[in-house]
Amino acid sequence: MNPEPSSAPMSQEDFRGLFPALRSTVWLDTPGAPPGAEPVTAALYEALSAWSTGEFDWRAWDSAAADARILFARLVRADPATVSTLGSLAEAAATVAGSLPPGRIVVAAEEFRSNLFPWLARHDVVTVPPRDGATRVEDLMDALDERTVLLAVSEVTSGEGQRLDLPALRAATDRVGARLFVNLTQSLGALRFDAATVRPDYLAVHGYKWLLCPRGAAWLATRPDRLDELTPLAPNWKSTSPPHGYFGGPMRLAGDAGRCDASPAWFSWLGARAALRLLGSLDAGRVERHCLGLARQLTEEARSIGLRRVADGPLSQIVVLRTDHADRISARLRERGVRATALGDRVRFGLHYFNSEDDVLATLRVLRSSGASGG
């Protein structure tokens, strides 16, 4: 099937109309997972129907991962030959961890565990603690030295909602000769990524959040000069160059990033292909401006009722507010049809392109009526 997305940008109103859940729910929980978009769920319903009737062709299903590779490469401005298709962020990190030369890895102590545990399992790791409840770019840079082989970061921190200064971190890793692993799981799909400026050695994304994919579709883009050292985590029938064989024979790994592909979970990739086609119909600059504008409005209005961001760094499309009453506030929001997540001493909200100013205003009404304060 042709992986080309539509060339005509879709309006925000039309995009919002593709999410049936939004007719009854204010969905600000995309940092956890978004509701299903109709083109994505339609692809899954079609596959389930064909599976049920026996009218499916598994070879057609199998092509979805290859199509999604091309769409993803276009999204991050990479050569498809440098992109591996995997099942999770942890697989991407573990693949890189198993491919590195000896040396130290630097990572934030409060990183999401899929971008922490794979490094801890294989290497000498320096974990950088937060200050005042937030990861600090300057602390990550201070932890780098000539022993560092890699710095692993998330562009947007899941538990804090701040957007890290990736160009500054790239410059810092260059000074000590270290590689840079960037996790875009909590940003790509809402925020633009400047690959030419950041020049990550490795870029990884699990698509089930801001890319609107089913869980189980992830990508690892490797800089061309790092491809030779990349080693598959679990060699399988997809590790050779096409056409893929099934039985016997010597293991001749593909010469590009495809040698690290996981055997695809077909339904995940059918949904991922549909999701990336949908995102390809949007104007990325307009999406980012919309998401950041809503996040700024929520942040400023929340401050007026005593709720402040956990982090004081650059704003992202994820707003994390500190409070002593996170569980109570989250429960009250849900009672009023607003989905958000309580995380210990904070409540997390995520603003995607399908969200509107009315969503923000509805959320603020609940916060005010709940007597919410920072505590």
User: Cα dist. 284→280, 291, 350, 352 in Å?
Assistant: 9, 11, 17, 12
- pTM of whole model > 0.85? yes
* Residue ranges with strand state E in the chain: 26-27, 83-86, 104-108, 124-128, 148-154, 179-183, 202-206, 218-222, 318-322, 338-339, 341-342, 346-350
Per-residue pLDDT of the chain (375 residues; tens, 9 = 90+): 444 544 679 999 999 999 999 999 999 999 999 999 999 999 999 999 999 999 999 999 999 999 999 999 999 999 999 999 999 999 999 999 999 999 999 999 999 999 999 999 987 999 999 998 889 999 999 999 999 999 999 999 999 999 999 999 999 999 999 999 999 999 999 999 999 999 999 999 999 999 999 999 999 999 999 999 999 999 999 999 988 888 998 889 999 999 999 999 999 999 999 999 999 999 999 999 999 999 999 999 999 999 999 988 899 999 999 999 999 999 999 999 999 999 999 999 999 999 999 999 999 999 998 766 654
pLDDT value for 8: 75
pLDDT value for 2: 44
CA distance 86 to 362: 38
Sketch out the chain's domains with CATH numbers: 12-35+283-369 (3.90.1150.10), 58-279 (3.40.640.10)
* Residue ranges with strand state E in 70-147: 83-86, 104-108, 124-128
pLDDT value for 122: 80
pLDDT value for 372: 62
